[in-house]
Amino acid sequence: MKKYIYIISLFITASVIFGCDDMLEQYPKDEVSPETFFRTENELKLYTNSLLFLFPSTSLYTEGADNIAKQSLEDEITGIRDASTVGGWSWGNLRNVNFFLDNSYKCENEAIRAKYDGIARFFRAYFYFDMVKRFGDVPWYSHTFSETDKEQLYKKRDSRILIMDSMLVDIDYAISNLGTDKKVNEVTKWTALALKSRFCLFEGTFRKYHGIEGWERFLDESIKASQALIDGKKYSIYKGAGKDVAYRDLFASLEAETSEVITARGYNSELQIFHNCNYYTLTSSYGQPGLEKQLIDSYLMSDGSRFTDIPNYDKMFYYDEMQNRDPRLYQTVRGPGYKRINGTATDVPQFGYTVTGYMPIKYVCASTYDMYEKNENDLIIYRYAEVLLNLAEAKAERGTLTQTDLNNTIKLIRDRVGMPNLILSEANSKPDQFLASQYPLVNGENKGVILEIRRERRIELVMENFRYADMMRWKAGKQFERQFKGIYFPGPGIYDFDGDGKMDVCVYEKGKKPSNLQGAAQTLELGTNVTLEHGTYGNIVVNPNIKKNWTEERDYLYPIPITELTLNPDLKQNPGWED
């Protein structure tokens, strides 16, 4: 099935979809013109398969925000976005969706047409979700129009309320008309429910924390969508070969694990369709990504207690801080004793590849895939664990969360790795101050459990491209201004990273490299290869010379590109971006 989808999609993408006007120019009208196409199920399927390319690919694992630090930072984090250079105001994908919906009536079989209209309307909601996250108010277009239609071409932005209500109509149509079979490389009813669960949670919490009315309704819609997917009993949490490898294997599996994965983007060596995750993490070419210290500190101990409650937790060396932690930590970064999939050698973090020392391994497959563009493990778009997290968070924010709800959501996720359950009364009786300092807007009787659910979400979904959007909806962008950090070094010396008695890394002051490295393969000169917080000791400081600035009144939305404002004077710039 995966091969069929990609063969059809590649043919359609290259031959037909990208530019419907070109399609009419390049092919005889009696072959693929709107007048003769869109009449059979095969033709509807052929077209809608091409829309699968709207799903993200490598952006899933290359996320930044404050989870992953790199040599350079995104403009969103540094505060240097500019309306003269920013993009995103693009409508080509929406035109392809609306072109289908304007022509699918030619198929006389109503049931078939409704199914494929459901796929197209799913993608219209999907498209507008990205646009609302980025710009807020945007024009709503439900049909294609010609370049001579000045009223449509230069229309004003429609309200966020209208856009979100229209998205609900589209996604509810998709849910009602799409198939219920599990098809991981297609859009199904379960895909539509997962999208609704996601965008309604986003909208509900965005409105709540940004002081916009109507937030309760969207949280309720998210709850209903999540519960409907759960009640379908099609999915469960993948446990694979046990708690020490199941989380890692979920992302390194060549074929998506369909027990948990609802929808995935497929990759295939026979068709020469690859991505680049191994190379991304095993080279210096992509900014040397590394997990950030605050995220590492967020992982609980294996008994469920807080790592940050341990005295001097912030002064622990790598080997010590990695002991007895949530097993997802060792399945997300290289920990002591790490071995590659199908490998026998023990590998420590490579500082030439990671700026923090916390070297990511999520999505990383066996060494046979290490070369440029060789990965063929499927990339997950929607999975069951996210839906469980959405349900728990929406209920907590709505004030209806019970211990039974936690048992049916967070517990199932933690059971995968053998972690203790989250207890509602304990979380609320003593909210974690480490988390509270990150999210100062959280308050009320559910403060503690909301903070813990955010912890769980950050850990479970790291490197799945959620973090930036989460921080936007929680109105927590100021957190991006903090100094990003890495591993703690107590001072110059030669260090054993995995406790095997063999030295791995030598840290020395400038001009004082030891003559005897005691077998250490890596050397770090202070002030040259690495900067420590207090000069000769402390945490690695990432980008010490880059100033970060977050403007609360401006930065939760992107600016509309100046070129678009020039073309359409009826468009109004987002607040704070006017000058």
Write out pLDDT tens, residues 159-200.
999 999 999 999 999 999 999 999 999 999 999 999 999 999
Query: What is the predicted pLDDT for the residue at 34?
Result: 79
Query: What is the predicted pLDDT for the residue at 43?
Result: 96
Helical axes 384-398 vs 215-231, angle rounded to 10°: 140
Q: Which structural domain, as residue segments, surrounds residue 247?
A: 179-255+381-475
Please state the rounded mean pLDDT for residues 378-400.
Answer: 99
Averaged confidence pLDDT in the chain: 93
The closest of 370, 350, 373 to 360, measured between CA atoms, is 350
Split at pLDDT 50, 70, 90, the class of 19 is very low
Split at pLDDT 50, 70, 90, the class of 35 is confident
% the chain with pLDDT above 70: 94
- How many residues are given for the chain? 579
| CATH classification of the domain holding 249 | 1.25.40.900
The answer to whether position 432 is within a domain reads: yes
Query: What is the predicted pLDDT for the residue at 406?
Result: 99
Split at pLDDT 50, 70, 90, the class of 64 is confident
Query: What is the predicted pLDDT for the residue at 6?
Result: 40
Tokens in use for 253? 């599996």
Tokens in use for 248? 């890692």
The answer to whether position 500 is within a domain reads: no
Query: What is the predicted pLDDT for the residue at 58?
Result: 84
Q: How far apart are CA 445 and CA 428, in angstroms?
A: 7
The answer to whether position 374 is within a domain reads: no
Query: What is the predicted pLDDT for the residue at 579?
Result: 75
**Does the pLDDT of residue 255 top 70, yes or no?**
yes
The answer to whether position 66 is within a domain reads: no
Please report, as a single letter, which amino acid is at residue 534: H
Split at pLDDT 50, 70, 90, the class of 512 is very high
- pLDDT tens digits, one per residue of 309-323: 999 999 999 999 999
**Does the pLDDT of residue 15 top 50, yes or no?**
no
| pLDDT, greater one: 254 or 64 | 254
Half-sphere exposure of residue 297, counting CA atoms within 13 Å on the CB side? Answer: 24
Query: What is the predicted pLDDT for the residue at 20?
Result: 36
**Does the pLDDT of residue 22 top 50, yes or no?**
no
Query: What is the predicted pLDDT for the residue at 32?
Result: 55
Split at pLDDT 50, 70, 90, the class of 9 is very low
The answer to whether position 97 is within a domain reads: no
Beta bridge partners of 530: 526
Split at pLDDT 50, 70, 90, the class of 270 is confident
Beta bridge partners of 505: 495, 522
Please state the rounded mean pLDDT for residues 261-283.
Answer: 93
Q: How far apart are CA 481 and CA 462, in angstroms?
A: 20
**Does the pLDDT of residue 495 top 50, yes or no?**
yes
The answer to whether position 1 is within a domain reads: no
% the chain with pLDDT above 90: 90
The answer to whether position 219 is within a domain reads: yes
Half-sphere exposure of residue 577, counting CA atoms within 13 Å on the CB side? Answer: 24
The answer to whether position 244 is within a domain reads: yes
**Total count of domains within the chain:** 1
